[in-house]
């Protein structure tokens, strides 16, 4: 189109609304990242209102799309937080710990289980971990082996001593309850950065009242599982700005209903670098049930190696 025809300069006005989003242009206009590129010519003279409209439109077309820019920035910020949190956890090598699992039903009745935990850091991939039940007798020797992966689906095997066999947990079943607790099998795996997309939401206090995290500021971010077989549509995570420790996670099911909330407390630092929660509580808002995990007796730099984390090791873990 000739911007300056023979009869003088023209006023260029969008065919539709001023400053339309780049993907909401009229059908007869060409969508661009700045707005709509098809205009109509109108010969001079023009009214002051039309002149103002024209200048405003030109400004809109030259400006970057704010909403898209803000979205990209929020996603980049959320990813940066996740990456930095992962970097701070690298280099621990291996550790063992003991765990007490307390199951509570809606009426407040409790049952208690005791476990041993082993974790091996794997360079360039997700960690390997094993959970072995010691008490009570009806679950003694039951063991869960996990190979976490950065991008591929995690591998999980459950050893059932009563049947004397190893059962592989399929990806489709990882939203199921782990040993009757409010933790799903997918919750037991390391939450690898590559398994999610992210969006930073805001900064706010990590907790309220007298909680130990009340004086800390948390970055609040959403993370969205990449695997469509996940039991969750999204998770909202609170991580303190000081050390990027996770204090709370809200889990939303595939229908975006608030399913569960995880809270952590009693953090301790090991080897001057690695923070671990002493207590983790998962509350199921649909059933009213909850599970508390209490961690003790962390030991780093043990003699664990890859041979301790295989199906044979599962069978002899007892």
| Span 213-240, pLDDT tens digits | 889 999 999 999 999 999 999 999 999 9
Count of C-beta atoms within a 10 Å radius of residue 280: 21
pLDDT score for 218? 97
pLDDT at 47: 60
**Alpha-carbon distances of 154 from 111, 128, 144, 149, rounded to whole Å:** 29, 10, 13, 5
pLDDT of residue 260: 98
- Assess whether pLDDT exceeds 90 at residue 71: no
What pLDDT score was predicted for residue 42?
44
Q: In the predicted model, what is the mean pLDDT of residues 65-89?
A: 87
Residue 212 pLDDT = 84
Q: Is the pLDDT of residue 58 over 60?
A: no
pLDDT, tens only, 242-290:
999 999 999 999 999 999 999 999 999 999 999 999 999 999 999 999 9
Tokens of 288: 């009213």
pLDDT, one tens digit per residue, over 159-203 is 999 888 999 999 888 999 999 999 999 999 989 999 999 999 999
The CATH 2.50.20.10 portion of the chain extends over: 76-316
| Predicted pLDDT of residue 74 | 94
pLDDT higher at 250 or 37: 250
Fold adopted by 76-316: outer membrane lipoprotein receptor (LolB), chain A (2.50.20)
- In this prediction, residue 69 has a pLDDT band, given cuts at 50, 70 and 90, of confident
What is the rounded CA–CA span in Å between residue 244 and residue 144? 28
pLDDT, the chain, mean: 84
- Residue 227: partners with Cβ closer than 8 Å, 6 or more residues away: 153, 171, 195
DSSP lists the bridge partners of residue 282 as: 262, 291
């Amino acid at each position: 189109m000739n911007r300056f025809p023979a009869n003088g300069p023209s006023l260029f006005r969008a065919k539709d609304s001023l400053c339309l989003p780049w993907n909401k242009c009229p059908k007869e206009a060409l969508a661009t990242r700045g707005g709509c590129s098809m205009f109509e010519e109108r010969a001079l003279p023009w009214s002051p209102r039309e002149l103002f409209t024209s200048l405003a439109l030109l400004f809109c077309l030259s400006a970057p799309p704010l909403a898209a820019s803000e979205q990209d920035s929020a996603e980049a910020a959320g990813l940066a937080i996740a990456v930095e949190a992962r970097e701070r956890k690298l280099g621990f090598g291996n550790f063992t710990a003991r765990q007490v699992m307390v199951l509570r039903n809606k009426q407040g009745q409790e049952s208690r289980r005791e476990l041993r935990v082993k974790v091996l850091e794997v360079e360039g991939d997700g960690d390997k971990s094993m959970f072995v039940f010691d008490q009570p007798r009806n679950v003694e020797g039951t063991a869960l082996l996990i190979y976490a992966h950065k991008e591929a689906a995690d591998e999980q095997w459950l050893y059932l001593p009563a049947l004397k066999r190893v059962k592989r947990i399929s990806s489709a079943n990882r939203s199921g309850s782990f040993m009757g607790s409010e933790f799903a099998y997918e919750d037991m795996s390391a939450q690898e950065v590559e398994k999610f997309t992210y969006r930073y939401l805001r900064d706010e206090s990590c907790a309220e009242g007298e909680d130990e995290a009340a004086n800390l500021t948390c970055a609040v971010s959403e993370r969205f599982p990449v695997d469509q077989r996940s039991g969750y549509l999204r998770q909202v995570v609170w991580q303190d700005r000081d050390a990027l420790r996770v204090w709370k996670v809200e889990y939303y099911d595939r229908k975006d209903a608030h399913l569960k909330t995880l809270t952590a407390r009693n953090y301790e630092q090991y080897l001057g670098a690695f923070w671990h929660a002493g207590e983790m509580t998962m509350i199921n808002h649909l059933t009213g049930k909850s599970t508390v995990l209490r961690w003790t007796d962390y030991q780093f730099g043990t003699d664990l190696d890859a041979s301790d984390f295989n199906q044979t090791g599962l069978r002899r873990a007892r």
